[in-house]
Amino acid sequence: MQIVSLTTDYGSKDFYVAELKASILTNKNDFSIIDISHEIDRFDIVQAAFYVQNAMTSFPEGSIHIVAVNCNYKRKSEYICFEKNNSYFIGPNNGIFSLIFDHLDESNIYQIVAPNPEQISVNAIFSHAAAYIGHGLPLSEIGNIVSVFSKKLVIQPVVTSQQIRATIIHIDHFENIVVNLKKELFDKVRNNRNFELYYKPNDPITFLSRDYGDVSIGDAVAFFNSAGYLEIALNMDKASSMLNLMKNEMIQINFYD
């Protein structure tokens, strides 16, 4: 049974998610639908990219990933589909896929033509593309190669020989703080030196832990999580609220011998 994953900023209060699922199953009723999240902050393609990027590796080959975030991003929005790493991706041409993947072959990205010229429903367009893929039809028949593939710049840490300044990109359900710093870059710049991680002016974190339980309850902890990103947390407490740290704020790491 082929899996269709859904990532949207639709929320759970309205009927939009049910409408999307019903439309998908109406077009092909043997899909298995898995929700990645419907609580993406409104129009936040960076957050959506983070969710999809970290979830998609758990799905089997052949899965179809629908990303419905900031769908109406301009007056005549475009919707695209493509294959990457033996999986399929459907969503708006608003730059979100350039945040998920470092490189895409633009000659194999297709603009989805609505099944009905009078059809303006985004959900109908997405479900049409999913059914097309599910029936094994070639992507080249869904529409023409997209004329301009939209790209967005990924926010990168600012690095010098003595310092890294990184950005908070996500606050999870437990209010743990995820920073856009991967372990490989941290280790390279650190070069076996000592460090001080400042998330506020005083009391820096000076060592990396394995997980939350390496410190006493209520104490701050930093470690690289299962997705490879730096995470700052309070053991058994809410780091974002207690430390007054929000998305898009910066943390600083100083290195010294």
Q: Which CATH number fits domain 3-141: 3.40.1360.10, 3.40.630.30, 3.40.50.10790, 2.60.40.10?
A: 3.40.50.10790
For the chain, domain boundaries: 3-141, 158-256
pLDDT at 198 (0 to 100): 95
Q: Quote the CA–CA distance of 155 and 128 in Å, as a whole number.
A: 33
Residue 184 — very low, low, confident or very high, per pLDDT cuts 50/70/90? Answer: very high
Q: Tell me, what's the pLDDT at 73? A: 85
**Domain range 158-256, CATH architecture:** Beta Barrel (2.40)
In the predicted structure, residue 49 carries a pLDDT above the cut 80: yes
* Measured distance CA(257)–CA(255) in Å, rounded: 7
Average pLDDT, the chain: 93
| H-helix or E-strand spanning residue 84 | strand 79-84
Name the burial class of residue 185, with classes exposed (0-12), middle (13-18) and buried (19+) by CB atoms within 10 angstroms of its CB.
middle
The model's pTM: 0.87
Beta-carbon contacts of residue 144 (< 8 Å; ≥ 6 apart): 110, 111, 113
- Examine domains 3-141 and 158-256 and report if their fold is the same: no
pLDDT of 154 reads 81
pLDDT of 117 higher than 80: no
Q: What is the reported pLDDT for 119?
A: 65
Percent of the chain with pLDDT over 70: 99
Confidence (pLDDT) at 93: 96
110 confidence band (pLDDT: 50, 70, 90) = very high
